[in-house]
């Protein structure tokens, strides 16, 4: 009646759906793990609908998830670029504006150079904002897609959802067949 699961703990076997035989007996933890991995809430064999509670995985799990290695590498490189480019863009913009102001204050007014420096500052800022927005949007979309398929699943009322009658290892169909053979 008790078997060691792959996670090292011991759990009773349940018969939570209409399946019979060895397919109908499983651990609650294994069922919850399978429902989370398959992103379903029903048995694929008998179509029994389980009563489950789904909670989205926390953001930190997305960052630790080993599956999308390329996406994690892209996120890491974008964060490093953001850390490096933000002060660089800020200082460059400030220097360009400071240079434009100096050209406007000079006795022979160099309006053309000042306008060029202001234009350069605007272009630099626009490129920085555009790159930041595109990068953020990309990673937010990746996170939202991941969030749709990665949930913590908790089977609610395992005994109530079970169709087992007297023996918790037998489903209702198996129990009916058992009762018919005894009579």
What's the confidence (pLDDT) of residue 178? 40
**pLDDT at residue 160 is higher than 60:** no
What local confidence, expressed as pLDDT, does residue 163 receive? Answer: 44
pLDDT of amino acid 9:
63
pLDDT, position 84: 94
pLDDT band at residue 143 under the 50/70/90 scheme = confident
Walk across the sheet containing 10-14 and list its strands: 2-4, 10-14, 26-27
* SS3 category, 2: strand
pLDDT of 130 strictly over 80: yes
End-to-end CA distance of the chain: 26
> What is residue 92's predicted lDDT score, i.e. its pLDDT?
93
Average pLDDT taken over every residue of the chain = 78
Per-residue model confidence as pLDDT tens digits over 28-41? 888 888 888 888 88
On whether the 2-57+150-182 domain is CATH 2.60.40, my answer is no
Q: What phi, psi does 107 have (nearest 5°)?
A: -60, -55
> Confidence class of residue 85 from pLDDT cuts 50, 70 and 90?
very high
- Between 61 and 5, whose confidence is greater? 61
Q: How confident is the model at residue 166 (pLDDT cuts 50, 70, 90)?
A: very low
């Amino acid at each position: 009646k008790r078997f060691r699961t792959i996670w090292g703990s011991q759990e009773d076997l349940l018969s939570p759906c209409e399946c019979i035989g060895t397919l109908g007996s499983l651990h609650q933890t294994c069922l919850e793990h399978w429902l989370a991995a398959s992103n379903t809430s029903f048995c694929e064999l008998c179509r029994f609908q389980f009563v489950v509670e789904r909670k989205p995985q926390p953001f930190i799990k997305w960052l630790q998830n080993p599956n999308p290695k390329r996406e994690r590498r892209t996120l890491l490189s974008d964060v490093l670029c953001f850390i490096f480019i933000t002060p660089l863009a800020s200082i460059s913009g400030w220097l360009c504006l400071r240079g434009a102001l100096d050209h406007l204050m000079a006795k022979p007014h160099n309006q053309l150079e000042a306008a060029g420096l202001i234009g350069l500052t605007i272009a630099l800022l626009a490129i920085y904002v555009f790159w930041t927005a595109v990068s953020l949007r990309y990673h937010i979309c990746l996170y939202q897609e991941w969030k749709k398929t990665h949930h913590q699943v908790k089977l609610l009322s395992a005994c109530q959802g079970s169709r087992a009658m007297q023996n918790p290892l037998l489903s209702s169909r198996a129990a009916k067949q058992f009762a018919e053979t005894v009579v």
